[in-house]
Structure formats: C-alpha cells, structure tokens
Amino acid sequence: MIIIITGTSKGIGFEIAELLGKKGHIVYGFSRRTVNSSYFTSLSVDVTDKEQIEEAVSMILRKEGRIEVLINNAGMGMVGAVEDTSKQDIQNLFTLNLIGPVQMITAVLPAMREQKLGKIINISSIGSEMGLPFRGFYSASKSALDKVSEALRYEVKNWHVQVTTVHLGDIKTTIAESRIRTKVSQVYKKVFERVYHLMNQHVAKGTEAIEVAVYIEGLLERRDWKAHYYFGKLGQRIGVPLKWILPQNFYEKLMRKYSQMDEY
C-alpha cells in the first residue's frame, strides 16, 4: 500500500513508518526534520503549512498514482493550569493537533474518493476521553480531533474511505521533552510540580513505541473499522469505561487520587 504518516522523525511515527516499510509498503513520512531510513522516504513537511502539504501530496500522487493510507500521528503535548494558559499557547496547540490533521485529510481525500478506497487513522489519546488535570487543552485538542473523525466517517463512507481514531495510553517516547509547558502561577506550583513529575514518570514507564507500530499494522489488515480503538496499559484503558459506569463524583475522586491532586 502507499502510506503517508506524519510525525516520523522520532517516537511513535518513526516506529510505525519503519515497520510498515519493512513489511513491504511504500511509506512517506512527513516531519519538519528529515531522518535517514532504509524503509521509508522522509520528507520535510510542516503539517501546519497547507502549501507544503499540498506540494508533497501532489508529488507522491505523480510518482505513485494513489494514496491508500494516511496516519495522522504528528502532535504535541501541553501542560499547565487552565487559568494560566495564554491564547497563543492554545492556538499553537490546536493548530498542530487539530488543524494539522484536518489539512492532511483534505489533501488526500480527493484522491481517496476517486480511487473509491482509503484508510485514515488519527492518533489520539486516552486523555481525550476525560479532562486531565493540568492537561486540559491537550485533552481538548485531541477530543476535538476525535469528534471531527466521527463526523468524517459518515461523510466519506459512500466512497469506501474508512476513518478511525486510535487512543493511546502512555507510550515511552520523548514527548515529555517536546511538550509546551505554559507559565504556572504560584497558587498551582506545588501541586503542578507533583502532577508533572508523575505524568513524566508514566511516559518513562510507558508502553514501547514499537508495540504501537505492531498494533497499527494489525489494524490496517482489518476489514471494517470501528470509530475508536484504545491501546495501552489496562490500568489506563480501563479509565474510559469507568467514566461511563461509575457515579460521576466517585470517578472524579479516583482520578484525583490517580493524579495525586489531593494535597494543595
């Protein structure tokens, strides 16, 4: 298959691109920094730049004649209190985590519709299903992408284009280093530092990125996709059904404990 993956210079995207390339697919990876790989073609494309995307997609279509799969993986985290976060920080985050994937989708859809065939995977987070403390805007940006994916499924089904969202738990990558850390005011500092340390520990002890790649490879072989898939440690995945099953206040108590929010 001809596959485009975004965010392939490191982390999860790199592992997916290498694995799918090794399995014999023709893979193009988009990231701002290019990398050397024997298994995929790395192109310098900023997914927030519509012109760069369109140029790269046209080049791939001229060369390969089709694009069967798009994996929207490029994204970043942001930490800080809701109250402290600037408009600019929110705009930067949503530009990458929401507008970037949407621009990628609009660039490949005409070809997928013409082919009457296509698969689009949007990489989201288990944290998109709940407002995580000090990650409110990250949760919101991924949640916005989830809802766009759900709507898109209806809109493109008649052309046999499938869309799904893969919600990940903590995965061991360098995401913690590239997160935007907003200014944190004194009132939140003590609890923020504790929660921040904990979230970095979760990433450091997270699932290996190669396991995500293997999961995505398996997903590409499935015939009919559901709207949402969840991948990660059971202790994190379980948070999603628990939110709907448990009484709301009890669920919040559990989340406060899990996030060590209790002692201000």
Ligand X SMILES: NC(=O)c1ccc[n+]([C@@H]2O[C@H](COP(=O)([O-])OP(=O)(O)OC[C@H]3O[C@@H](n4cnc5c(N)ncnc54)[C@H](OP(=O)(O)O)[C@@H]3O)[C@@H](O)[C@H]2O)c1
Nearer to ligand X, 43 or 250 (CB): 43
Nearer to ligand X, 41 or 48 (CB): 48
CB of 143 to ligand X, least distance (A): 12
Q: Which residue in the set 28, 30, 192, 225 belongs to the binding site for ligand X (CB under 6 A)?
A: 30
The span from the first CA to the last CA of the chain, in angstroms, equals: 53
Q: Which residue in the set 1, 26, 39, 46 belongs to the binding site for ligand X (CB under 6 A)?
A: 46
The DSSP letter of residue 202 is H
Per CB under 6 A, does 211 bind ligand X?
no
Per CB under 6 A, does 101 bind ligand X?
no
- Look up residue 58 and give its amino acid: S
Cite the active site residues: 9, 124, 138, 142
CB of 204 to ligand X, least distance (A): 10
Nearer to ligand X, 185 or 201 (CB): 201
Q: What is the DSSP string of 159-179?
A: GTEEEEEEEE--EESSHHHHS
Question: Is the Cβ–Cβ distance between 1 and 68 less than 8 Å?
Answer: yes
Per CB under 6 A, does 12 bind ligand X?
yes
Nearer to ligand X, 117 or 219 (CB): 219
Q: Which residue in the set 3, 5, 7, 133 belongs to the binding site for ligand X (CB under 6 A)?
A: 7
- Interaction pattern, residues 107-136, with ligand X; x per rule: CB under 6 A: ----------------x-x-----------
Burial of 174 (0-12, 13-18, 19+ CB in 10 A): exposed
Q: What is the DSSP string of 84-130?
A: G--HHHHHHHHIIIIIHHHHHHHHHHHHHHHHT-EEEEEEEEGGGGS
Nearer to ligand X, 125 or 164 (CB): 125
Question: Is the Cβ–Cβ distance between 196 and 190 less than 8 Å?
Answer: no
CB of 247 to ligand X, least distance (A): 27
CA distance 14 to 40: 9
Dihedral angle over CA of 105, 110, 116, 119, nearest 10: -10
Interface region with ligand X, contact rule CB under 6 A, candidates 30-38, 103-111, 186-194, 249-257 = 30-38
- Site residues for ligand X, 157-186, by CB under 6 A, read 168, 170-171, 173-175, 178
Integer angstrom CA distances of residue 251 from 6, 141, 230, 242:
35, 22, 19, 7
Q: Which residue in the set 21, 75, 133, 136 belongs to the binding site for ligand X (CB under 6 A)?
A: 75
**Residues contributing to the site for ligand X (CB under 6 A):** 6-13, 30-33, 46-48, 73-76, 96, 123, 125, 168, 170-171, 173-175, 178, 203, 206
